[in-house]
């Protein structure tokens, strides 16, 4: 099934990792596979993960939260952009060894924290205690949420974030933070559906009240 990357934004020099096994090699080494019941899907193409991170705009020196990093494909692309602080939240313990490898490899040029837990229960405002808040009407906050979302929770998670936008809490307690996320193609099209579109629904209205959603590109299915 196809999925689409949607950037929601309401609200330098890349770093070089030391030689590491490829994601495909790590997946084979640790015998990792996507679990259908958790609606997991792996993105293995580095060109694609780089494209997703590029869609987030400038993250160098900023604070980044990655949702559901899995084996770390998008994580590597984020690290190469040298954010100041990267927090990854992963529920599945099977991926911890590959994420710890990335954390150790990047320790010389950024802070990377690994949180094993459920993103639906995660308190984003506690992730970046040294990030200053700024006025809502100033430029965007240096806080970004990036993720290849598990499809089963993507809509629920997005609604939670929209609520936080409306109350200026969570990631939006710092100011107008941005989201760069993957969704199933049909969901992405509903999020950005204009007035009078047959795809327009409550999700379209909620997103467009509190953010400026933009469909960036479509990820081809298998």
Can you say how many angstroms the Cα of residue 80 is from the centroid of all Cα atoms in its chain? 15
What residue numbers does the annotated binding site cover? 41, 43, 68, 90, 118, 148
First to last CA, the chain: 7
CA nearest neighbour of 57 among 185, 219, 178, 166: 178
The span from the CA of 35 to the CA of 136, in Å, is 40
The span from the CA of 66 to the CA of 89, in Å, is 6
Dihedral sign from CA coordinates of 121, 53, 17, 33: positive
Distances (CA, A) of 135 to 50, 132, 165, 173, 176: 31, 10, 14, 10, 9
* Residues in contact with 42: Cβ distance below 8 Å, sequence separation at least 6, in sequence order: 23, 27, 34, 70, 71, 73
CA nearest neighbour of 177 among 134, 215, 129: 134
What residue numbers does the annotated binding site for S-adenosyl-L-methionine cover? 41, 43, 68, 90, 118, 148
């Amino acid at each position: 099934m196809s999925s689409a990357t949607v950037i929601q934004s309401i609200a330098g020099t890349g770093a070089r990792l030391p030689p590491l096994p490829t994601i495909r090699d790590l997946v084979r080494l640790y015998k990792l596979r996507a679990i259908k019941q958790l609606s997991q899907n792996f993105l293995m193409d580095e060109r694609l993960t780089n494209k997703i991170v590029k869609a987030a705009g400038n993250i160098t020196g900023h604070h980044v939260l990655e949702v559901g990093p899995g084996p770390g494909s998008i994580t590597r692309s984020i690290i190469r952009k040298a954010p100041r602080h990267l927090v990854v939240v992963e529920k599945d313990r099977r991926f911890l060894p590959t994420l710890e490898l990335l954390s150790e490899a990047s320790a010389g040029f950024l802070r990377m924290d690994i949180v094993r837990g459920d993103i639906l229960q995660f308190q984003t405002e506690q992730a970046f205690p040294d990030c200053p808040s700024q006025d809502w009407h100033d430029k965007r906050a240096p806080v970004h949420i990036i993720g290849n979302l598990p499809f089963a929770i993507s809509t629920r998670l997005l609604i939670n974030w929209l609520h936080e936008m409306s109350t200026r809490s969570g990631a939006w307690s710092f100011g107008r933070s941005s989201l760069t996320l993957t969704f199933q193609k049909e969901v992405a099209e509903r999020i950005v559906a204009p007035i009078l579109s047959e795809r327009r629904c409550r999700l379209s209205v909620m997103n467009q009240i509190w953010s400026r959603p933009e469909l960036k590109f479509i990820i081809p299915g298998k």
